[in-house]
Each structure stands twice: as C-alpha cells, then as structure tokens.
Amino acid sequence: MELRKTVAVITGGGTGIGRATALALARAGAQGVVLNYSRSTREAEDTVTELAELGCAAVAEQADVADDTQVGALAQRVLDRFGRVDVLVNNAGTTHPVPHQDLAGLTDEVWHRLLDVNLLGPFHCARAFASALAEAGGAVVNIASIAGYRAGGSSIAYGVSKAALLQLTRNLASALAPDVRVNAVAPGTVATRWQTDLHGEAAFTERARAERESVPLRRTAGPEHVAEAVLGVLGMDLVTGEAIIVDGGKHVVY
C-alpha cells in the first residue's frame, strides 16, 4: 500500500501506540489522520497539533468504540470531512486488573466492558468503515496483545478479549476480501502510560529491567516499535489474516 495521500482512522489515537502510529503515518505522507478518543481530550488535541506541524490534516473525534451508534456517527463525520478512508487502526483498548486466581473478582461487569471495548469496538469500526475501505482498496490493522496467545496479562478477561480479537482479524480478513486486507499487531510489554498506570512508574521500570534479562533482543519496546510494525504490515500487499508479535523475541523463549 502506498501511504502517501491516504486517510487513516486510529482509535485510541491520542496517546501511546495510537499517537506513535499517527505520527509515523504522517511522516509516511498520509494526507489526513483522524484520532478517535474517548477520554484523553487534551492528549488527542496535542497530537493533532503535532500532526499539523508535519503537514498532515488531522482532527480529533470523540467516540466510545463500544457504542455502535457513536461509531456510526464517527464514520459519517469522517466521510463528510475527508470523503474516503484508506486505513483503519483499531488501537483503542481497556483493561481491569484482576489476579488470575481471583475468579470471584472477575465479575460480569468486567467481562462485558473488556469485551465491549477490545472486541466489539474493533468490529463496530470495521463494519462502519467497510464500504469506504473497500472502495479505497484499504487495510485494517488491529492492535492485539501477546496476552492473546499466552495465559498472562492483566486479567483473564483481557487475555480472552485479545485472543478473540486475533480470531476476529482472521474472520474479517476472509469476510472483507478481496478489497480490504485485515491484519493484527500483537505487542508484548510496551513502555507507555498504560503500563505505568497499571504498575506505577518505579515498579514498571523494575519489571521492564528484569524482563530484558530474558528477552533475546534485550530491549523493551516503545510505542514507536509497534507503529513500525503497523506500517510494515500496511505495506505487505499480499498478506492478510496474520499477526505480527512485537516483544523483542520473548515469545520464542517462554
């Protein structure tokens, strides 16, 4: 895919991986980037400013991807403004930490919220933008997680939601073919606010240091490494239904 003059929609686009992906697309020549956010208003607006400085027409749009009505309205606003969508990056996600042994703590409310955002959210967005993506010969990239492969992560529900997202990626790759490609990127540990919010800054720094001792590449991923994988898979014109793990090789030595 030639990224110059394309229009991209990135959910959860104001911070972390979403922000890094937006900046990478702008540097690759994207004409327009829509940053969807649910709560991070200031961060999304700051990222819009950064994108504008790179010569990219950018806009921040608030919508909860778990709400299909809001997603439909978002899609209409995007198409009214730009007239096309070439790239959809389903990056918005949430979690609720619950120790895996604490089955009683994993309430139905937790399950529903995580599945609504992490699984139904990407589906809502793919469905809402499917026609525009098909017309453009576009591509979807879902941001999954290594927790979708292993019995780890911040909770059982989080891991299950990301495993389901990997399967949704495969199913959508078939359903939207031949006009739209659908792939996933599955990060391991990434140095973002997500991790410091979960563990605290000092605790995350120590966790990351200890993890690097067993990671083949001896590095902790930053959001820019995940963005690099997103742009890489966007450029693979004959690849669909696949997932790229970005964890420095840790998954090969678990």
Distance of alpha carbon 241 from alpha carbon 143, whole angstroms: 13
């490609």: which residue's tokens?
181
Find the radius of gyration of the CA atoms of the chain. Answer: 17
Q: How many residues does the chain have?
A: 254
87-90 vs 139-143, strand pairing mode: parallel
Distance of alpha carbon 47 from alpha carbon 51, whole angstroms: 6
The DSSP result for 172-201, as a single string, is HHHHSTTT-EEEEEEE-SB-SHHHHHHH-H
Closest CA to 145 of 39, 15, 36, 251: 251
Closest CA to 18 of 121, 89, 84, 72: 89
Catalytic one of 37, 149, 158, 254: 158
158 assigned to active site: yes
Work out the widest C-alpha separation in the chain, in whole angstroms: 51
Residues with catalytic function = 158
